[in-house]
Amino acid sequence: MAVQEIAGVTAPPGRGLSIGQRRALTHAAIFISLIGLWEAASRLGWLDPLFYPRPSDILVSFWLIYVQNGNVGWNLYVTLGLVLAGWVAGSVLGVGLGALVGFNPLVRRFLKPYVIVLEATPRIAVAPLLIAALGFGAPSKIAIIMLVCFFAPFINTLSGVVNVDPGRMELFRSLRASKLQVMRKLVLPDAVPVIMAGERLALTAALSGALVAEFIQRDQGIGSMILIYTRNLNMASAFACIFTLTIVGFLMFKGMELVDQRVAYWKNEAGLKRVSDRRRARAQAEGVI
Amino acid sequence: MATQTALHSPSTDTGGRSVVIRGQDVGKTFGGGAVVALEGASFEIPKGAFVSLVGPSGCGKSTLLRLISGLIDRTSGELTVHGKPVSGPHTDVGMMFQRATLLDWRTSLENVLLPSEITRTPTRADKDRAAELLRLVGLKDFLFAFPSQLSGGMQQRVALARLLQTGADILLLDEPFGALDEFTRERLNIELMRIVAEVGATTLFVTHNIAEAIFLADQVFVMTPRPGRIVEIVDVPFERPRPLSIQTSPEFNALVARVRDLFGGVH
């Protein structure tokens, strides 16, 4: 099963550093070399500083947008708000529709062609139409994000619901479980890990969707900042915004991983132990054991 | 009611005990009659009996089990459980499969509680019984372990406890230990005999291992394929409890040879 395997590498004896420490040092060395190379290339005129600002300039821009101007805070807040709203809306739509289609073979058969058509169409192409319909502002942006990110939860929920182990299904049948019980006690819990995987993809898509929506509307948010800085040929600040998004994306991904480990607790060792201990404590409190 | 002439073998003597499952000319075809999975199966199974169904693949042993459970419907004949004709899944029987089919997100205790949850909100008594049954199958230290933390044999023990939790007095076991190694299977077979004797259940046990079938059972239904049929019902005379050592006795081996002969050129 999907239990994490840790390669059992034992550290060879050498220079008093653990393998982890030495790896960290190597990573740091490579990173610093790359940055140094970039800086040098820019200073020596190999790179056009207009389009490829020096790392030192980007660092200055970080200072500018975070501290001196302080304009990144509000814009980041706006963008993340959009991402959250669009992601939640897309998830509700995706999981709901996926469950509906998954549970209903008839709906599945007749909806399938539309799903294929929708999958083949780049959903971002609809963005201008959404703006035309909903006007400028948050609603059309959220709609764009929703459209961009609903597909992964939809398709994953659908496949999770459809691919129920036949042996377990037979067990529930032999126990004379109702349809609702099959859904609540078998199909949905079984689909949780694959739904969570879909949610992870959706969150990444939502961030991209938010940026595109902001590129189009260019009023506020990190996406607008990047666009405006680029137009003003302030590439260093644009890069500072991009690296900000790198960090945001990384944190979101890590956060999602933590949520995943808690929700799909039976897929990782720590989760198994934690829930097992909790259940034992509860049973002891009830006096079952 | 029961026309004795229809029976394949006179050895379905119930010894004065009441008949729990009765089949008369039971047949099952698939694909509109294209495939005959089972044909003309007639038998009587007394209360508390341990019956083994043995035969090669395609002999209809799993089909017969599923017919009795009501998971599939027969195409001909009469089949009653506790005197009532079988139609659809019913609560008199519990099934166990080759795969444990446990729910990965539930602890052993919660898995065993599942049958109770299906019928009602589990009571304190249900929980106590589930814990008790897990002790009975030798898992008292694993009440709060998850399936992924258990070995294959332990998972089947949980499945057995779950089966007993249904409260069904007829246990249908479809090669329950077939995927386990020889040693684990032998141990679990012995424990299975002890446990079903303790709860007084009527047991049908599907296997393709002749020695295992004889060792466990009071009666062995010998079945052959194309079409699936019960060719003979063999009574097993050995006293209980049975030690493993009876498997090396001449009487035991004579019985194994007799059953093997019944398969003729089929096996």
pLDDT tens readout for residues A67-80: 998 899 999 999 99
pLDDT attached to residue B11 = 41
SS3 content of chain A, % helix, strand, coil (to 5): 80, 0, 20
Q: Which of A1, A4, A165, A174 to mutate to test the interface with B (most CBs of B within 10 A)?
A: A174
Q: Distance (Å, rounded) from C-alpha B263 to C-alpha B259?
A: 7
**Residue numbers in B near A172 (CB within 8 A):** 118
**Residue numbers in A near B115 (CB within 8 A):** 175
Q: Is the pLDDT of residue B237 over 70?
A: yes
**Residue numbers in B near A289 (CB within 8 A):** 131, 143
Whether A174 sits inside 8 A of B69 (CB atoms) is: yes
Whether A185 sits inside 8 A of B99 (CB atoms) is: no
Q: Is the pLDDT of residue B114 over 90?
A: yes
Q: Distance (Å, rounded) from C-alpha B2 to C-alpha A134?
A: 76
Q: Give the chain B residue nearest A2 (alpha carbons).
A: B148
Integer distance in angstroms from the first to the last C-alpha of chain B?
A: 36
| B16 pLDDT tier (thresholds 50, 70, 90) | low
Per the CB < 8 A criterion, the answer to whether A213 and A266 are in contact is: no
pLDDT, chain B, mean:
89
Among A3, A181, A265, the residue with its CB nearest the CB of B118 is A181
**Residue A133 touches partner B, C-beta closer than 8 Å:** no
Give the gap in angstroms from C-alpha B11 to the nearest C-alpha of chain A. Answer: 31
Other C-beta atoms lying within 10 Å of the C-beta of residue A178:
11
Query: Helix A188-217 vs helix A235-263: angle between axes, to the nearest 10 degrees?
Result: 170
Per-residue pLDDT reduced to its tens digit, B138-178: 999 999 999 999 999 999 999 999 999 999 999 999 999 98
**Residue A248 touches partner B, C-beta closer than 8 Å:** no
- Whether residue A189 is preceded by a cis peptide bond, meaning omega within 30 degrees of 0, is no
Looking at residues B30-44, what average pLDDT do you find? 90
Residue A131 carries which side chain, given as an amino acid letter?
I
Q: Distance (Å, rounded) from C-alpha B228 to C-alpha B234?
A: 17
| B35 pLDDT tier (thresholds 50, 70, 90) | confident
Whether B105 sits inside 8 A of A272 (CB atoms) is: no
Task: State the virtual CA torsion across B40, B44, B49, B55 in degrees, nearest 10.
Answer: -10
**Residue numbers in A near B99 (CB within 8 A):** 167
Per the CB < 8 A criterion, the answer to whether B208 and B175 are in contact is: yes
Per-residue pLDDT reduced to its tens digit, B169-226: 999 999 999 888 988 888 899 989 999 998 899 999 999 899 999 999 999 999 998 8
Whether A288 sits inside 8 A of B115 (CB atoms) is: no
Stated pTM of the model: 0.82
**Residue numbers in A near B145 (CB within 8 A):** 276
- Whether residue B227 is preceded by a cis peptide bond, meaning omega within 30 degrees of 0, is yes
Q: Is the pLDDT of residue A12 over 60?
A: no
3-class DSSP assignment, residue B178: coil
Whether A175 sits inside 8 A of B128 (CB atoms) is: no
Task: State the virtual CA torsion across A225, A229, A234, A240 in degrees, nearest 10.
Answer: 20
pLDDT attached to residue A15 = 62
Q: Which of B104, B108, B155, B173 to mutate to test the interface with A (most CBs of A within 10 A)?
A: B104
3-class DSSP assignment, residue B174: strand
Per-residue pLDDT reduced to its tens digit, A151-193: 999 999 999 999 999 999 989 988 999 999 999 999 999 999 9
**Residue B109 touches partner A, C-beta closer than 8 Å:** yes
Q: Please compute Rg for chain A using Cα positions.
A: 25
**Would you say the ipTM is above 0.85?**
no
For B100-110, b where at least 16 C-beta lie within 10 A, e where not — what string? bbbbbbbbbbb
| A14 pLDDT tier (thresholds 50, 70, 90) | low
pLDDT attached to residue B2 = 39
* A12-26, A127-141, B9-23, range with the lowest pLDDT: B9-23
pLDDT, chain A, mean:
90
Q: Is the pLDDT of residue B262 over 60?
A: yes
Whether B101 sits inside 8 A of A280 (CB atoms) is: no
Residue A180 carries which side chain, given as an amino acid letter?
L
pLDDT attached to residue A5 = 44
pLDDT attached to residue A50 = 84
Edge-to-edge, what's the strand order for the sheet holding B170-174? B93-96, B170-174, B202-207, B50-54, B219-224, B229-235
* B51-55, B106-110, B178-182, range with the lowest pLDDT: B178-182
Give the gap in angstroms from C-alpha A278 to the nearest C-alpha of chain B. Answer: 9
Per-residue pLDDT reduced to its tens digit, B90-99: 888 998 988 9
Edge-to-edge, what's the strand order for the sheet holding B35-46? B35-46, B19-30, B76-81, B84-85
Q: Distance (Å, rounded) from C-alpha B22 to C-alpha A211?
A: 71
> Which of 110-169 (B) contact A at CB < 8 A?
110, 114-115, 117-118, 124, 127-128, 131, 143-146, 148-149, 166
Among A185, A276, A289, the residue with its CB nearest the CB of B117 is A185
Question: Residue B117 has which token pair?
Answer: 């949850």
**Residue B90 touches partner A, C-beta closer than 8 Å:** yes
